[in-house]
Amino acid sequence: MLVDIVLDIPTRALNTPFTYEFPPTLLKEKEGRSEYVHTGDVAIVELGNRNVIGYVVGVDPDGMPDEKTKPVLAYFPESLFDDTSVKIARWMAQHYATPLSEALGLFIPVGLSARLKKALTAYNTTGEAKLPARRRRSPSHENEYAGASAAAPRPKHLTSGQVEALAAIRAALATAVSIPKVIPESAEIRNTIVLEGVTGSGKTEVYLRAIEDLAKRGKTAIMLVPEISLTPQTVGRFRARFGDRIAVLHSRLSEGERYSQWERIRTGDAQIVIGARSALFAPVRNLGLIVIDEEHDRSYKNHGAPRYHAREVAEYLAGQRSAVLVLGTATPSMEALHRAHSGDYTLVRMPERVGGALLPPVQIVDLTAEFADGNRSVFSRALQEALAEVRQHKEKALLFLNRRGFAQFLLCRECGFVPQCQSCSTSLTYHASTHKLRCHQCNAIHDVPAVCPMCGSPYLRQFGTGTQRVETEFQQLFPDWPVVRMDADTTTSKHAHAELLAQFEQLETGVLLGTQMVAKGLDFPEVTLVGVITADVTLNLPDFRSGERTFQLLEQVAGRAGRGKHPGKVIVQTYWPTHRAVRAAAAHNPALFHDTEREERAKLVYPPFGSLCNLVVSAHDEEATRSYAEKLAEALRRRTELADAQILGPAPCALARRKKLWRQHILIKGKAGLEVGPAVMDVLTSLSKPRAKDLRVSVDVDPDDLM
């Protein structure tokens, strides 16, 4: 008998499974299982002259060993994953140009590797194969209900939008369920629904009903939510409906807690899995539905290796397991919309809030006009007045400072002009040390103009405001009105996030000031005003998605206002009031943004009209980084598969240095659907070893940003 084994060594050089002989003498009896070796079992095998851990990905009962085939030394009948999971891992390895062991590693429960390492050491010293006992711990729900408003009762009547959405999901489920278990290799099964529902339109109720349906038929569901919205409120709503049938997976669980959730899913004890992106790899059986809530959210992209996107993997996974995929959000990604327009996905809209509540009016304040009138405060007069009103009525306000520390750009205070790269359509980054402007995509370098090229103003200056400065100015304006600041500095401790929110909730009247963190999922009915200090930071990120992100963010923050009895109001301050993302969010009219954005992207061959792959080379030595990046770019340019693609760079990354590492990147820009994975993998494995031992190349297929 032969078995194919993926070695637990995440290196690009060992990217394929190795075949070993499985000696019949090793077979063990295990309760509830035939005495057989299965996909998902763990083995100890020899590689060179040492022993390593490996995972069984295929079994050939009739295979005959030749003289070179080595035997499996020991095995643990763990059944960690099934054949379909292996198929998904293989697809990921190829698509994302990542070692197979790394992709497969996603399916392996945390904490197991430590136990396996111990087992290997024990085997090497005693020759005995024994897996140390696992630490089981039931998850504590103590924190889960804290602060959660009592879960809303199951509504008797659905809105017409909800009825329509549910009908679409049911129709998809009806067909998906009838797809035969074994899907022919060539079959492309698409059962994806984009649910575009404005904030407060009752999307969660739609998910809950669809899952109820499914549970009745004995099927399971995976519900993905952005890590940040995996709050007691969210989980509480699901627990209220499904009780102990849910399993929750999030990063704050201890290893033991996580493992016991994993076991509950594997044994079928839990049929509904709620979690962040990695919940996709939970060992669910009989999967019927995957829901990705807030589909556009950036946390669905894994920022470590393998750099997968949960939407992409979910689509493949749903196809393989005959399940339906629902992508719900108020602001679908350009990718999802494009697929909907081209007919791959079904699009359902819920344009109205439950109970007919209106989306809040959005007022745009032009900061160049404020500047012209001599107002140097971060608060425009309109925002000051609106805040004063909230205070007078003893209500609450949310102030949002859109900020990412490293994005350095120049902005004209008088007309709002920001220098851009003409060929890449992204903002140029300002380098104070050299006083130059640089495009981090094509590497073009420009001098800093002495005055604004648009209006001749001398106020072309580096842009940036911190939350602290806003807090200080706020306190000067409203000396005894409480303000809770929530940003990276105030949320370093484990529970700080929840504590600050509780603190704000308990206030009779006050203001919550924060960064991205306050934009999502928060539901405070007392909030009647949302103020965006400047929309410009996201607008001017050196990234082609900056407009899309701004639109999504503004629409999300606006959704925080007026969720209670009082109508809300939103004020957006910006130096660029005419930008389509700002105007579309203000009008709550996505088409105003998308129509032009689509043309623009198509013209520049950006996703979804083109494909991108970003390779980042990093090392401590600057010269080694650059010369290796050049070699890599050259090798890529020689590939025939990439002949039609543009190979841009190498150029320094927008974040040229991080943690003392020098960073250079190469961008492969090709036609939509171009699979660059295999060529990239091949180049990386065949290129001669870099001089610098610490040099790393990270491959980011479908990158979420180009920093």
Token pair, residue 441, equals 């995509």
Q: How many CA atoms lie within 13 A of 472 on its CB side?
A: 6
Closer of 454 and 483 to Zn ion (Cβ): 454
Choose the contact partner of 158 out of Zn ion, ligand ADP, none; CB within 5 to 8 A by kind.
ligand ADP
Choose the contact partner of 687 out of ligand ADP, Zn ion, none; CB within 5 to 8 A by kind.
none
Contacts 24+ apart (CB under 8 A), 117-124: 117/53, 119/44, 119/53, 119/76, 120/44, 120/51, 120/52, 120/53, 123/44, 123/51, 123/73, 123/74, 124/51
Residues 6+ apart with CB under 8 A from 354: 159, 200, 201, 202
Q: How far, CA to CA in Å, does 260 sit from each of 137, 227, 269, 547?
A: 6, 20, 11, 42
Q: Is residue 441 part of the contact set for Zn ion (CB under 5 A)?
A: yes
Closer of 453 and 525 to Zn ion (Cβ): 453
Q: Is residue 204 part of the contact set for ligand ADP (CB under 6 A)?
A: yes
Q: Is residue 454 part of the contact set for Zn ion (CB under 5 A)?
A: yes
Q: How many CA atoms lie within 13 A of 233 on its CB side?
A: 14
Task: Give every strand in the sheet of 445-447, ordered side by side.
Answer: 429-431, 436-438, 445-447
Closer of 294 and 543 to ligand ADP (Cβ): 294
Closer of 199 and 429 to ligand ADP (Cβ): 199
CA angle 267, 272, 278 (to 5 degrees): 90
The single residue listed with the structure tokens 């089981």 is 136
State the pairing for strand pair 192-197/345-350: parallel
Closer of 155 and 405 to ligand ADP (Cβ): 155
Q: Is residue 546 part of the contact set for Zn ion (CB under 5 A)?
A: no
Torsion-angle region of 684 (φ positive above 0: left; ψ -120 to 50: alpha; else: beta):
alpha
Neighbours of 509 (CB within 10 A): 15
Site for ligand ADP in 338-377 (CB under 6 A): 354
Q: With CB under 5 A as the contact rule, which of the stretches 209-217, 406-414, 543-551, 565-573 interacts with Zn ion? A: 406-414
- Minimum CB separation of residue 560 from ligand ADP in Å reads 10
Q: Is residue 158 part of the contact set for ligand ADP (CB under 6 A)?
A: yes
Choose the contact partner of 194 out of ligand ADP, Zn ion, none; CB within 5 to 8 A by kind.
none
- The values of phi and psi at residue 535, to 5°, are -85, -5
Q: Is residue 152 part of the contact set for ligand ADP (CB under 6 A)?
A: yes
The residue among 112, 103, 135 whose CA lies nearest residue 17 is 103
Q: Is residue 226 part of the contact set for ligand ADP (CB under 6 A)?
A: no
Q: Is residue 415 part of the contact set for Zn ion (CB under 5 A)?
A: yes
- Minimum CB separation of residue 449 from Zn ion in Å reads 10
Choose the contact partner of 412 out of ligand ADP, Zn ion, none; CB within 5 to 8 A by kind.
Zn ion
Site for Zn ion in 64-103 (CB under 5 A): none
Choose the contact partner of 477 out of Zn ion, ligand ADP, none; CB within 5 to 8 A by kind.
none
Token pair, residue 329, equals 């959000």
Closer of 222 and 539 to Zn ion (Cβ): 539
The residue among 247, 245, 300 whose CA lies nearest residue 276 is 300
CA angle 265, 146, 260 (to 5 degrees): 20
- Minimum CB separation of residue 555 from ligand ADP in Å reads 12
- The values of phi and psi at residue 429, to 5°, are -95, 140
**In this structure, are residues 301 and 250 in contact, taking their beta carbons and an 8 Å threshold?**
no
Element spanning 169, H or E? helix 160-177
Q: Is residue 201 part of the contact set for ligand ADP (CB under 6 A)?
A: yes
- Minimum CB separation of residue 121 from ligand ADP in Å reads 49
- Residue of the chain from 1, 3, 282, 421 that contacts Zn ion (CB under 5 A): 421
- Minimum CB separation of residue 272 from ligand ADP in Å reads 16
- Minimum CB separation of residue 233 from ligand ADP in Å reads 9
- Residue of the chain from 155, 351, 456, 567 that contacts ligand ADP (CB under 6 A): 155
- Residue of the chain from 228, 369, 442, 498 that contacts Zn ion (CB under 5 A): 442
Q: With CB under 6 A as the contact rule, which of the stretches 154-162, 383-391, 590-598, 671-679 interacts with ligand ADP? A: 154-162
Closer of 319 and 559 to ligand ADP (Cβ): 559
- Minimum CB separation of residue 132 from ligand ADP in Å reads 44
Distance CA 537, CA 320 (A): 41
Q: How many residues contact Zn ion, by CB under 5 A?
A: 14
Q: How far, CA to CA in Å, does 686 sit from each of 635, 680, 693?
A: 10, 10, 17
Closer of 202 and 577 to ligand ADP (Cβ): 202
What is the number of helices (H) and of strands (E) in the chain? 19, 27
- Residue of the chain from 85, 98, 159, 234 that contacts ligand ADP (CB under 6 A): 159
**In this structure, are residues 619 and 625 in contact, taking their beta carbons and an 8 Å threshold?**
yes
- Minimum CB separation of residue 88 from ligand ADP in Å reads 29
Site string for ligand ADP, 171-200 (x = CB under 6 A): --------------------------x-xx
Give contact residues for Zn ion (rule: CB under 5 A).
412, 414-415, 417, 421, 423-424, 439, 441-442, 452, 454-455, 457
Give contact residues for ligand ADP (rule: CB under 6 A).
152, 155, 157-159, 162, 197, 199-205, 354
